[in-house]
Amino acid sequence: MQSVMCPQIKNCCKLLAMSDATLQVQQLYERHPYPHYPLLAKPRWQDGYLGSSVFARHVIFRHAVDTTQPAHFLSIGSGEILPYIIRQWEPSATKVTCVDLSKRSLRRAHFRTALLGRQISYQHMDINEFLETASHRRDPLYDHVEAYGVLHHISSFQKTLSMIRSRMATKGILRLMVYNARARDWIWDINRAFFLLNLKFNSDTDVQTARQILQDLAKLSPRLSERLRQMGQASLENNTRFADTFLHPWESRADIHQWFSAFNKAGLRPVSLYDRYAELDDLENTLWTCPTVAQLSERADDLRYENNIEIWLTRDDSLIPREEAASQKANRANIPLRLRMTMPASQLSQFIETRHLPIGAKLVIWRGFLKSLYGQKDKNTEDLLRGLDVSSLKRLARIGLILPQTAEKLNLGDSLVKPIHGSMNPPTLTGTTELVDSVKASKIISKISQSTQKKAQALKRFIRAM
Across the chain, mean pLDDT equals 91
| DSSP 8-state class, residue 383 | H
Domains of the chain with bracketed CATH: 14-179+252-431 (3.40.50.150), 183-251+432-465 (no CATH)
Interval 42-55: pLDDT, tens:
889 999 999 999 99
Interval 4-44: pLDDT, tens:
444 444 444 444 456 789 999 999 999 999 999 999 888 89
Looking at residue 7, its pLDDT comes to 45
Looking at residue 18, its pLDDT comes to 66
Model confidence band, residue 449 (pLDDT cutoffs 50, 70, 90): confident
First to last CA, the chain: 65
* Mean pLDDT, rounded, for 209-228: 95
Residue 311: burial class (beta carbons within 10 Å; 0-12, 13-18, 19+): buried
- 3-class secondary structure, 367: helix
The C-alpha angle with vertex 246 and arms to 240 and 247, in degrees rounded to 5, equals 75
Interval 393-415: pLDDT, tens:
999 999 999 999 999 999 999 99
* Mean pLDDT, rounded, for 139-147: 97
Evaluate if residue 430 carries a pLDDT over 80.
no
**Rounded to two decimals, what is the model's pTM?**
0.92
79-to-96, 108, 226 alpha-carbon distances in Å:
14, 9, 29
Q: H or E stretch including 24?
A: helix 20-31
Model confidence band, residue 434 (pLDDT cutoffs 50, 70, 90): low
Looking at residue 41, its pLDDT comes to 87
Evaluate if residue 254 carries a pLDDT over 60.
yes
Interval 366-380: pLDDT, tens:
999 999 999 998 999
Side chain identity, residue 271: V
Model confidence band, residue 327 (pLDDT cutoffs 50, 70, 90): very low
Model confidence band, residue 435 (pLDDT cutoffs 50, 70, 90): low
CB atoms within 10 A of CB 317: 9
* Mean pLDDT, rounded, for 105-117: 92
Model confidence band, residue 332 (pLDDT cutoffs 50, 70, 90): low
Compare 332 and 102 and report the one with higher pLDDT. Answer: 102
Looking at residue 120, its pLDDT comes to 96
CA dihedral 279, 281, 282, 283 (to 10 degrees): 100
13-to-10, 20, 337 alpha-carbon distances in Å:
5, 14, 46
